[in-house]
Structure 1
Amino acid sequence: MALDVGIVGATVLALGIAIYKLFFDIPSLPSYIPGPPSPSWVAGHVIDVLGNQERMGGLESRWFRHYGATIKTKGTFGRDILMTSDARALNYILNATGYRYEKTPELAMSLITLGGPGLPAVTGMVHQRQRKVFSPAFSESRIRMFAPVFQRISKNLSQAIKNTIGKDGGAVNMHLWFGRASLDTIGEAGFSHSFNTLLEGDCEISEILHHFLDDTGSNSKVFRVAIWALENFPILQEILARSPVGVNAQFMKFKARSRDLSADIVRDVKQSVGEGEMDNMLSILVRANQGEDEKKKLSEEELLAQAAHLMAAGQESSASTLAWIFYYLSKNPDIQEAVRKEIADVRAHTGLDTHLSTQDYDSMTMLNIVIKETLRMHPILGTFPRVAQFDDIIPLGEPMLTTDGRTIDRIPIKKGQVIECTAHGYNRNPAVWGPDAEEWNPRRWEKKIENFVNAPFGCSLTFGAGARGCIGWRFGVMELQSYTTEMLENFRFQPSKETDAVIAWPGVFSSPRLAGRGGEGAQMPLFVTPL
């Protein structure tokens, strides 16, 4: 029913949008920029990118190989989209120009609908103000403070898996267990709340997140077309944001529940001023906000929005990345054993009962290159849509062969031009990563990477880059380090009968699913044996 409503809504709006575009200036790209022919004026390439490909990013990779690193594609209703995997262009757009290239209005709207006006959703100076207040919660020293949380929950994860498989081992959907561990971690580290899903099973929040992620995967074609169709109509954006239909119903339910949680915590923190710090991110944020100038402080609405975005951003990204880490380790037993030996060597110095420090984790070369390579191969977001706030000229590191036979190293664009900064395309660009860019090869990180985007933790674009890069990347990396270490100390991972059917499912968010069975949700079936 929700799918039908979405189709009807998008269709009804099509004629109005077409007429609108006849009277308003929508920027177009120079005709000489190469790119694939559009299959549809109404949908452009949107449905192809999100639904008509067997794995996330596969279609874009073919386009880049055929047309070059920067190409022209089509959005809905004939709109020109510039898509690039060029390192120099991405560095310019994401790093060198501040807020001159902002997130697109439709993306900002969907994020506000999901969680409210939190850091991932807001733009411009509002984003700059929020990020300044938020930074102390994600500083390196604060992340070290959360190490005991990671390690305690990782041990809960180990025990839960042991209870599931018994002494002889068995097939396990590791994505399910990593998702529960991630949510428990965010609950405790984010706002001192115990979801306890590892020991008690899914809770209301985790169920809502499951439904939301399933909807944006299985119904992502209609979801994305409808969002793009509404991009020029602020009043219709407001109507959509308040309509409890389909995916939007999950957005609104999740937002309401997360607000209830964060409201209690914000109240408690405000009442405990001067009584010492609570050890969670939201309390750190509230205290940092109290020290700000009145004009720069976050409003109550902005504070409450942060919890929703913490849960939505952190839970699925960590769960899917961990699932892919153990997918590759199960397929590469020599590397799995090398990482396990490295962990044992560190334990020989620290002792088996000692909590590992951030320095211990960072010292493990094999562990970290496995994590870096998996992050490179599987960004949770395949692209970062941006819109130009001014006319500009974008430099290219890989010269473009135009359709009229010229070679150029820059592209003129107009204010309002939409650009897809493709994390997946850049992360697999042979000009950066070499001829084996499509292959999982952790050893590549033992050499210097050339022509890269300046981005956190290993110069892949998985955490984004620049002013809008992921502020919580250190938290995410330490979570991956902690859980990978704990799992390898306690279990051996091998492919199960279904592992070969796992693909990177195309959708608004990428997740591992079984080919032909994407509607069953995210899965990573592995055979797990206790050590």
Structure 2
Amino acid sequence: MQLFLDVVEGSGMTFEQSLLGTRGIDTIDPENIEDVLSTQFEEFGLGLRPPTFYPLLGSGIFTQDGRQWKHSREMLRPQFMSNRSENFEQIKACVGDLISCIPPNSIVDLQPLFFRLTFDTTTFLLFGKSMSALSSDDIAGKESEFADAFSLGQDYLSHRGRLGDFYWLLYDSRFRDACKTCHRFVDDAVRDALEDANTEQQEKSKYVFIHALIQETQDPKVLRDQCLNILLAGRDTTACCLTWTFRLLARHPNVLERLREEIESTVGIGDSAVQPDRNDLKKMPYLNFVIKEVLRLYPSVPVNSRAALKTTTLPVGGGEDGRSPILVRRGEAVGYCVYAMHRRKDIYGADAEEFRPERWEGTQLKNVGWGYLPFNGGPRICLGQDFAMLEALYTVVRLIQKYPYIELPENEPSLPPGQEKQVLTLVISSAEGCEVKLRGQSYWVHSDRL
């Protein structure tokens, strides 16, 4: 990410790049991004993403354009619109399993637990039931194997993307093996879903994505591709958000203290505290500011792009003052770095690099508009953003209720801004992780008395 920040500082908000002889445009100007994602949505497509990502993700909502994408989106929409109560109950159950995995008053790396949590909730969205990676050692082992392969596969996809038209050069045996492991894992779940459908064992009272897909096709590859795409969107992004949240809370005790006070005054702290419902979460503005600030500094998808389907223009970036239109030829890519845009000092202030949830109070950023894009925008805006926010907010509250005191272990290294690893989502390397000290209320009461 530091490379993007350096290039923007030297080149401005919108500039031309040459990648292996191919011209493209990069921008962090909200006007241009709105134009690409919304105003001129029909004039831009995914470009090389479908063939670049195909070996791992196949053809699914994340890699489709046009009518295929619209159809996939319409099939997924009812899962979030119709099943809100069931989805929330599943989140609560999975977070309960997460808490049970944490030893009392311990040092723990939360990152793998968060990935298991979001794996469980996303498989529930897909299959109508959780695979229970948090509560089953057998499933946890399979999830760990899948997670390693999925992370490696995404690493390859990011490198293939940087090769432009030469993406096909990066297709070695290590990448192929990772793809096979991921495919085998999802194929097993798809086979079970097909058997349930053929024996009429599926539950009819609620909408389940895999059941809707099976009504249209029983092709195992089509089903696998769609499921892998949603696993990427639902598992990795929210897990990254939660990981960054607790890394930052452990490093900013003043933020944690204010958040803890808000949670205590709303639903209580400790083992006897009530579990928050949706209305309780809405009554905690500072909690929402914290997550909003995390997603500003560490958006789950920090870099994205589109390709022009016809010769067109972007509204700004040309001319001596950079405020004139700029030409984009058919086939040329327009890249946009949300990570860099979210750190613009002219939008977010001189302290834009700092973690300060208070910046969202008042009206200063009320009209930030396309300058804040944690869930993308336009017709391809994230369908699951409400579900993701609900999962993140609830998880944060429940963990702080159980472990109100969060600290860094001794000699824990910090990660300088810009040094984060960008695969497809903004992950933290396993060596860094999210290792924290978690202390319950009773521990600290006892310590104070001593």
Shorter-chain TM-score category? 0.7 to 0.9
1:35 counterpart residue number = none
Is 2:123 the partner of 1:187? Answer: yes
Matched residue type, 2:54:
I
Q: Is the alpha carbon distance of 1:109 and 1:347 closer, same or farther for their aligned partners in structure 2, counting shifts above 3 Å?
A: same
Matched residue type, 2:178:
Q
Matched residue type, 1:445:
W
Is 2:393 the partner of 1:481? Answer: yes
Residue by residue over 1:314-361, the C-alpha shift from the partner in whole angstroms, topping out at 9 and shown as x without a partner, is 222222211110111112222212222222232269x95755332322
1:160 counterpart residue number = 101
Is 2:67 the partner of 1:125? Answer: yes
Structure 1: unaligned runs, 5 residues or longer: 1-56, 291-296
2:340 counterpart residue number = 425
2:328 counterpart residue number = 413
Is 2:442 the partner of 1:501? Answer: no
1:325 counterpart residue number = 245
SS in structure 2 at match of 1:83: strand
How far apart in 1 are the matches of 2:272 and 2:21? Answer: 61
SS in structure 2 at match of 1:379: coil
1:394 counterpart residue number = 314
C-alpha displacement of 1:436: 2.0
2:176 to 248, 252, 255: 248
Give the 5 Å matches for 1:28-43: none
How far apart in 1 are the matches of 2:116 and 2:347? Answer: 35
How far apart in 2 are the matches of 1:358 and 1:417? Answer: 44
2:77 counterpart residue number = 135
Structure 2: unaligned runs, 5 residues or longer: 442-450
C-alpha displacement of 1:369: 0.8
2:263 to 302, 319, 343: 343
SS in structure 1 at match of 2:41: coil
TM-score normalised by structure 2 residue count = 0.86
Is the deviation greater in 338-347 or in 315-324? 338-347
Q: Is the alpha carbon distance of 1:144 and 1:83 closer, same or farther for their aligned partners in structure 2, counting shifts above 3 Å?
A: farther
Q: Is the alpha carbon distance of 1:264 and 1:529 closer, same or farther for their aligned partners in structure 2, counting shifts above 3 Å?
A: same
How far apart in 2 are the matches of 1:208 and 1:495? Answer: 29
How far apart in 1 are the matches of 2:281 and 2:190? Answer: 31
SS in structure 1 at match of 2:53: helix
Q: Is the alpha carbon distance of 1:498 and 1:214 closer, same or farther for their aligned partners in structure 2, counting shifts above 3 Å?
A: farther
SS in structure 2 at match of 1:372: helix
Matched residue type, 1:177:
L
How far apart in 2 are the matches of 1:92 and 1:175? Answer: 36
SS in structure 2 at match of 1:122: coil
Give the 5 Å matches for 1:12-411: 57-75=1-19, 77-105=20-48, 107-139=49-81, 141-162=82-103, 166=104, 169-191=105-127, 192-200=129-137, 202-214=140-152, 216-217=154-155, 223-226=160-163, 228-230=164-166, 245-269=173-197, 272=200, 276-278=204-206, 280-283=208-211, 285-286=212-213, 290=215, 300=219, 301-347=221-267, 355-396=275-316, 405-411=320-326
Residue by residue over 1:125-175, the C-alpha shift from the partner in whole angstroms, topping out at 9 and shown as x without a partner, is 211122122211122x5234211111111122112112xxx4xx3322111
How far apart in 1 are the matches of 2:381 and 2:387? Answer: 14
SS in structure 2 at match of 1:501: coil
C-alpha displacement of 1:199: 4.9
How far apart in 2 are the matches of 1:338 and 1:298? Answer: 51
C-alpha displacement of 1:493: 0.9
C-alpha displacement of 1:501: 3.1
Give the conservation status (yes or no) of the 8 Å contact 1:182–1:319.
yes
2:433 to 512, 517, 523: 523
SS in structure 2 at match of 1:112: helix
Residue by residue over 1:486-518, the C-alpha shift from the partner in whole angstroms, topping out at 9 and shown as x without a partner, is 1100112112235433355333235454xxxx5
How far apart in 2 are the matches of 1:494 and 1:353? Answer: 22
Give the conservation status (yes or no) of the 8 Å contact 2:302–2:426.
no
How far apart in 2 are the matches of 1:125 and 1:415? Answer: 20
Give the conservation status (yes or no) of the 8 Å contact 1:144–1:357.
no
Matched residue type, 1:173:
D
Matched residue type, 2:37:
L
SS in structure 1 at match of 2:382: coil
Give the conservation status (yes or no) of the 8 Å contact 1:81–1:418.
yes
C-alpha displacement of 1:194: 2.2
Give the conservation status (yes or no) of the 8 Å contact 1:195–1:203.
no
Aligned residues: 433
How far apart in 1 are the matches of 2:406 and 2:227? Answer: 34
SS in structure 2 at match of 1:419: strand
How far apart in 1 are the matches of 2:259 and 2:3? Answer: 33
Q: CA RMSD in A?
A: 3.0
C-alpha displacement of 1:229: 3.8
SS in structure 2 at match of 1:314: helix
How far apart in 1 are the matches of 2:87 and 2:306? Answer: 33
Matched residue type, 1:102:
G
SS in structure 1 at match of 2:383: coil
2:447 counterpart residue number = none
How far apart in 1 are the matches of 2:406 and 2:261? Answer: 15
Q: Is the alpha carbon distance of 1:184 and 1:222 closer, same or farther for their aligned partners in structure 2, counting shifts above 3 Å?
A: closer
Give the conservation status (yes or no) of the 8 Å contact 2:115–2:236.
yes
Q: Is the alpha carbon distance of 1:426 and 1:225 closer, same or farther for their aligned partners in structure 2, counting shifts above 3 Å?
A: closer
2:446 counterpart residue number = none
C-alpha displacement of 1:84: 0.5
SS in structure 2 at match of 1:528: strand
Matched residue type, 1:95:
S
Residue by residue over 1:30-51, the C-alpha shift from the partner in whole angstroms, topping out at 9 and shown as x without a partner, is xxxxxxxxxxxxxxxxxxxxxx
Matched residue type, 2:144:
S
Give the conservation status (yes or no) of the 8 Å contact 2:305–2:336.
yes
How far apart in 2 are the matches of 1:387 and 1:70? Answer: 16
Matched residue type, 1:356:
P
Q: Is the alpha carbon distance of 1:274 and 1:213 closer, same or farther for their aligned partners in structure 2, counting shifts above 3 Å?
A: closer
Q: Is the alpha carbon distance of 1:120 and 1:88 closer, same or farther for their aligned partners in structure 2, counting shifts above 3 Å?
A: same
How far apart in 2 are the matches of 1:362 and 1:475? Answer: 14
Give the conservation status (yes or no) of the 8 Å contact 2:236–2:425.
no
Matched residue type, 1:149:
Q
Residue by residue over 1:10-36, the C-alpha shift from the partner in whole angstroms, topping out at 9 and shown as x without a partner, is xxxxxxxxxxxxxxxxxxxxxxxxxxx
Is the deviation greater in 192-201 or in 314-323? 192-201
Percent of residue pairs bearing the same amino acid type: 19
C-alpha displacement of 1:269: 4.2
